[in-house]
Structure 1
Amino acid sequence: MANLMPKRRLENIGLGITGFCVALVALVVVTLIFMVAQQGLTTFFVDGINPIDFFFGQNWIPEQERYGALPMIVGSFAVTLLSTAFALPVAIGSAIFVVEVAPSFGRRVFQPFIELLVGIPSVVYGVLGLYVINSLVKAIFGDAAPTGAGILSGSLVLAIMILPTITTLSMDALRAVPNQYREGSYALGCT
């Protein structure tokens, strides 16, 4: 019995330290949320900008105190949807190739290469987009895209950026499929 007391006391100390750390992290998260909300809502309550005009306005002219964020919101959604439409078929096809079709040599080559691409910082992709993709879009579309910057360029950069992540996740998901399901799908005619 005497031997259990120090262990129990040590466990209680560990629980106390863990509880303190959890409370500290929760306090930091709540403080961050409060600060972001305070700074963000200042625009509406202190500066007197109408939220309806902000979210649905189409003109962003700070000199005239007109702040319409609708084009930026719609552009963000458009870039996200378009980049997903570009990247998803390629990523799933690549994952199927690596997991199901490629010989073991191909797997040993492709898997590390794809995982290496996941680790490239987003700044590198941004520079690639700025100098390479914008130039290609400008060369292809000419006067229709005088700078090359736009939704298409942003979507292509984002598609290249998310492609390795979606491919890696798809490969892991395909490897997790039990063999009995694979054999069952082969029996039903899937190839």
Structure 2
Amino acid sequence: MGGSPKKFVLASLIEHESCISLTHSKCWDPASRLKTPREEGAGLFQITRAYRPDGSIRFDALEELRSKYPKYLYELNWLNIYSRADLQIRAGILKSKDNYLQFVKYSANTDEALAFADAAYNGGAGGVNNERRACYISKGCDASKWFGHVEKYCLKSKIALYGNRSACDINRHHVEDVLHIRANKYAPFFK
């Protein structure tokens, strides 16, 4: 089984992750950065590490990717991530491919698999699997479909984080924005 059938979605993911607006100075910039007391997102794909209230690491997506793909990402680290666009892209592709391959076998079709993969990219695969289980045990919900089904079973926090949006709001918007709002404009460049 190969990677995603719609590679142009990676371009819309970069746009979503790095662009506040298409005219912003950090749009499509490897030095794009989100830094809060809770997390740091780095570069084109906003590879993220998150912190607990005591400052210790809660998770580190870069280290997880380096551990899984030492041959491909051994040079990438938190000291050079903002200057290595090539490795940011490699890391983003590998993370996206992992998510897609994890969910394609449980999905009604490739579009649904892309939606699950994107939700996992933003909020973690474990959370998506928990939401699929919540859907599965609910009458009329098809756990192989994101749209109109699993997307309605958000188990993420409903407490506002950024811009009065909760983790749940951010995750659901992420999927819609990446796959339905931004993606199609990139499709012609990937033919």
Q: TM-score range by the shorter chain?
A: under 0.3
TM-score (norm. length: structure 2): 0.25
Higher helix share goes to which structure? 1
Higher strand share goes to which structure? 2
